[in-house]
């Protein structure tokens, strides 16, 4: 350990770490617009500059290493003047349409301008004249609001290894765009939305469908239903200032009914259904020489990643639709028939942690008679916006239960929201299908946690099943390359496109950090520990659905409604 002094406070720092890391650990707030945790510092924005005793120039805290006896001033008059000038220069060529911006009140540039007392314009620059890119179903870009911090480029290239966007041209003409400066819809973008999470301004945001949902709720000729994903209940409260990990499931259901949704369903129910189909598919492949390793298909960003970069692995993907699309298909078939409602009169809305779900709902594979199974997808952030629009106060809401027949779930379906949850839930049911007996210990510790890749072997009465759990597409790419090179000891692989899984999705509340993701994960596993219904195959409403409608897993009707296929996508070159 090294001893340093910051603002008169003695701090112990680790040898080799940066000033920024040491100061933040000590609770000293240092602003930055370019820094990304766990990635190599770039020192691009210079907002994190600090003053060192004896040094002539200010130094960037994000890339300057600590040294024994170092004396630091993080908020001296000289430092504050430098930071204020940087913000003023950024604002010189930045649009002033804050009232209409999706990131209004959630913009880091806006917050820093207020914090540093920027109250008038000292510099005047030339605005970047670039059109909006609204070509994608999930994300939209406004290049005029880009401050060239590079965060989006780095998360896309270094974390996700997709490289859909990059810096184009040089000097004052530099901007961020796609290959050949085309729309996102024809790029290699997999719609994960991690770029929108890290963007400090409104340059990249999710494509909003709030207006369309509000119009549907006001249309008395439409029957509007909503489903909410497993992770939403442990993240929504953050939109209202609560600490990460607070489970507001019942209050959220109450809020959705208050808004006017006629039925509120739980996507964790169809997660249980997914397990029934997916575990059955895995057992069928293992026992009948099918294509292995089988790979999960719940994450639409991961699916598009395989279609685009690794089409040779398409046969390895499970044919199961995601829980969102399974429930969407059932709402406009089974539910519509039972209620005597024409499918075209149903507006099916889903609340998801994932911007890629917006793209998924628009895929032609997920339509019946030219009607989409899911009409509109809202993110956690958009649900928070709607709650504020309706004046909903969570403190005053009484918890309510979701509606049948798609309201009851097992905790296996609930842990889908965390990386490793799908695998753990599937193995609980696969064990029963293979042996006819329940697992003695439902918790599989080797599959839990935020590590990028987790591997283990499960012994199911003499059958050794090699499994891997991966989150973040950079980790997925490395595993696929190993399999291409000849690795053959794996039978089942779970992949989530976003780091941490759905709890770290591109549609979750902003200000994401590891501690927040860990709290969300802990909340989901706490639910699993405390509940008695912990296996998907013991969900009585899932059993009833098979008895009344689907017959059995992998039946002809199940294949028609709950399974799909995928195709290779061509890269724009």
Domain boundary among 34, 50, 75: 75
Q: Considering only CA atoms, which of 414, 399, 410, 461 is closest in space to residue 433?
A: 461
**Shared-domain flag, residues 202 and 218:** no
The reported pLDDT for the residue numbered 294 is 97
Q: Considering only CA atoms, which of 276, 280, 320, 263 is closest in space to residue 546?
A: 276
| Planar angle of CA 534, 422, 357, nearest 5 degrees | 120
Those residues whose C-beta lies under 8 Å from the C-beta of residue 179, and which sit 6 or more positions away, are 164, 187, 188, 572, 573
Determine whether 532 is exposed, middle or buried from the number of CB atoms within 10 Å of its CB (0-12, 13-18, 19+): exposed
**Shared-domain flag, residues 363 and 488:** yes
**Shared-domain flag, residues 346 and 487:** yes
Residue 481: give the domain boundaries: 211-562
The reported pLDDT for the residue numbered 572 is 60
**Shared-domain flag, residues 394 and 250:** yes
| Residue 80 included in any domain | no
Q: Give the C-alpha separation, 444 to 428, whole Å.
A: 10
Q: Considering only CA atoms, which of 53, 136, 121, 49 is closest in space to residue 91?
A: 121
DSSP 548: I
Two structure tokens written together for 323: 């829980």
**Shared-domain flag, residues 188 and 230:** no
CATH number at residue 512: 3.40.50.1780
**What is the three-class DSSP state of 252?**
helix
Beta bridge partners of 72: 6, 52
Quickly tell me which residue has 């390359």 as its tokens.
481
Domain boundary among 51, 75, 99: 75
Beta bridge partners of 227: 265, 350
Angstrom CA distances, 32 to 83, 93, 266, 515, stand at: 10, 19, 39, 19
What mean pLDDT is predicted for residues 441-446?
Answer: 94
What mean pLDDT is predicted for residues 158-175?
Answer: 94
Beta bridge partners of 544: none
**Shared-domain flag, residues 495 and 391:** yes
The reported pLDDT for the residue numbered 127 is 76
* pLDDT of 128 higher than 80: no
**Strand intervals (E) in 207-345:** 223-228, 263-266, 294-295
SS (H, E, C) 115-168: HCCCCCCCCCCCCCCCCCECCCCCEEECHHHCCCCCHHHHHHHHHCCCCCEEEE
Q: Give the C-alpha separation, 529 to 317, whole Å.
A: 30
| Residue 570 included in any domain | no
Provide the domain count of the chain.
Answer: 3
Q: Model pTM?
A: 0.95
**Shared-domain flag, residues 470 and 343:** yes
The reported pLDDT for the residue numbered 129 is 84
Quickly tell me which residue has 């080799």 as its tokens.
16
**Shared-domain flag, residues 292 and 403:** yes
List, for residues 304-359, the tens digit of each pLDDT value. 999 999 999 999 999 999 999 999 999 999 999 999 999 999 999 999 999 999 99
- Beta strands at 263-266 and 165-168: parallel, antiparallel or unpaired: unpaired
| Residue 572 included in any domain | no
The reported pLDDT for the residue numbered 462 is 86
| Residue 359 included in any domain | yes
> Worst-scoring range by mean pLDDT, 34-38, 140-144, 161-165, 383-387?
34-38
Q: Which helix (H) or strand (E) holds 6?
A: strand 2-6
Active site residues: 278, 281, 298, 318, 357, 360, 365, 502
DSSP 358: H
**Shared-domain flag, residues 105 and 236:** no
List, for residues 396-440, the tens digit of each pLDDT value. 999 999 999 999 999 999 999 999 999 999 999 999 999 999 999
List, for residues 187-235, the tens digit of each pLDDT value. 999 999 999 999 999 999 999 999 999 999 999 999 999 999 999 999 9
DSSP 49-70: EEEETT-SS-EETTTPBP-TT-
The reported pLDDT for the residue numbered 488 is 95
Q: Give the C-alpha separation, 49 to 46, whole Å.
A: 6
**Shared-domain flag, residues 196 and 332:** no
| Residue 455 included in any domain | yes
**Shared-domain flag, residues 180 and 240:** no
CATH number at residue 164: 3.30.70.20
The reported pLDDT for the residue numbered 570 is 81
Determine whether 430 is exposed, middle or buried from the number of CB atoms within 10 Å of its CB (0-12, 13-18, 19+): buried
| Residue 362 included in any domain | yes
| Residue 63 included in any domain | yes
Tally Cβ neighbours within 10 Å of residue 316.
19
Whether 520 contacts 243, CB under 8 Å:
no
Q: Give the C-alpha separation, 541 to 242, whole Å.
A: 33
Two structure tokens written together for 379: 């993110």
The reported pLDDT for the residue numbered 573 is 52
The reported pLDDT for the residue numbered 172 is 85
Mean pLDDT value across the chain: 95
Q: Give the C-alpha separation, 376 to 390, whole Å.
A: 19
Domain boundary among 25, 40, 75: 75
**Shared-domain flag, residues 52 and 155:** no
The reported pLDDT for the residue numbered 265 is 98
Q: Considering only CA atoms, which of 106, 351, 63 is closest in space to residue 233?
A: 351
* pLDDT of 299 higher than 60: yes
The reported pLDDT for the residue numbered 571 is 74
Q: Give the C-alpha separation, 264 to 370, whole Å.
A: 24
Distance of CA 460 to the CA centre of its chain: 32
List, for residues 472-510, the tens digit of each pLDDT value. 999 999 999 999 999 999 999 999 999 999 999 999 999
The reported pLDDT for the residue numbered 461 is 87
CATH number at residue 25: 3.10.20.740
Sign of the CA dihedral running 88, 90, 93, 99: negative
| Residue 568 included in any domain | no
Q: Which helix (H) or strand (E) holds 80?
A: helix 77-92
């Amino acid at each position: 350990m090294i001893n340093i002094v910051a603002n008169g406070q003695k701090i112990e720092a680790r040898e080799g770490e940066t000033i920024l890391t040491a100061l933040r650990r000590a609770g000293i707030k240092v602003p930055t617009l370019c820094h990304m945790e766990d990635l190599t510092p770039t020192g691009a924005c210079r907002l994190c500059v600090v003053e060192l005793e004896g040094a002539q120039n200010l130094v960037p805290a994000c890339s300057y290493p600590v040294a024994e006896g170092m004396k630091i001033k993080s908020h001296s008059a000289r430092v504050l003047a430098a930071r204020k000038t940087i913000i003023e220069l950024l604002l010189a060529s930045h649009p002033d349409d804050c009232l209409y911006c999706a990131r209004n009140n959630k913009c880091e540039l806006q917050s820093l301008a207020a914090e540093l007392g920027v109250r008038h314009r000292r510099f005047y620059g030339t605005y970047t004249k670039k059109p909006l890119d609204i070509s994608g179903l999930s994300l939209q870009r406004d290049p005029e609001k880009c401050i060239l911090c590079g965060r989006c480029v780095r998360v896309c290239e270094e974390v996700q290894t997709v490289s859909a966007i990059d810096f184009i041209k040089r000097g004052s003409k530099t901007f961020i765009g796609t290959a050949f400066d085309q729309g996102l819809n024809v790029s290699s973008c997999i719609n994960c939305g991690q770029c929108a999470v890290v963007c400090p301004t409104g340059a990249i945001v999710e494509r909003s469908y709030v207006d369309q949902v509000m119009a549907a709720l006001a249309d008395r000729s439409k029957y509007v239903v909503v489903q909410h994903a497993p992770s939403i209940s442990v993240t929504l409260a953050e939109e209202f200032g609560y600490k990460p990990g607070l489970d507001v499931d019942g209050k959220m259901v109450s809020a959705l009914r208050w808004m006017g949704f006629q039925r509120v369903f739980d996507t964790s129910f169809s997660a249980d259904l997914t397990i029934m189909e997916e575990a059955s598919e895995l057992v069928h492949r293992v026992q009948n020489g099918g294509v292995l390793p089988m790979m999960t298909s719940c994450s639409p960003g991961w699916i598009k990643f395989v279609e685009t970069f690794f089409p040779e692995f398409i046969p390895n993907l499970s044919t199961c639709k995601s829980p969102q699309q399974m429930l969407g298909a059932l709402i406009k078939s089974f539910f519509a028939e039972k209620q005597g409602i024409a499918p075209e009169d149903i507006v099916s809305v889903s609340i998801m942690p994932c911007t890629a779900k917006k793209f998924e709902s628009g895929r032609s594979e997920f339509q019946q008679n030219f009607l989409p199974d899911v009409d509109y997808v809202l993110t956690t952030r958009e649900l928070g916006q709607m709650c504020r629009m309706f004046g909903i106060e969570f403190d005053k809401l009484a918890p309510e239960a979701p509606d049948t027949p798609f309201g009851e779930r097992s905790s296996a379906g609930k842990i889908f929201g965390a990386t490793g949850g799908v695998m753990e839930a599937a193995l609980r049911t696969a064990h029963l299908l293979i042996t006819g007996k329940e697992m003695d210990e439902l918790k599989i510790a080797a599959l839990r946690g935020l590590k990028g890749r987790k591997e283990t072997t499960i012994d199911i009465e003499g059958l050794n099943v090699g499994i891997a759990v991966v989150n973040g597409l950079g980790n997925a790419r490395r595993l696929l390359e190993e399999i291409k090179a000849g690795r053959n000891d794996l039978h089942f692989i779970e992949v989530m496109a976003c780091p941490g899984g759905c709890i770290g999705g591109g549609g979750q509340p902003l200000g994401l950090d590891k501690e927040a993701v860990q709290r969300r994960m802990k909340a989901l596993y706490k639910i699993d520990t405390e509940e008695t219904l912990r296996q998907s195959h013991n969900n009585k409403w899932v059993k009833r659905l098979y008895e009344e409608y689907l017959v059995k897993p992998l039946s002809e009707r199940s294949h028609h409604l709950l399974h799909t296929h995928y195709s290779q996508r061509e890269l724009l070159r």
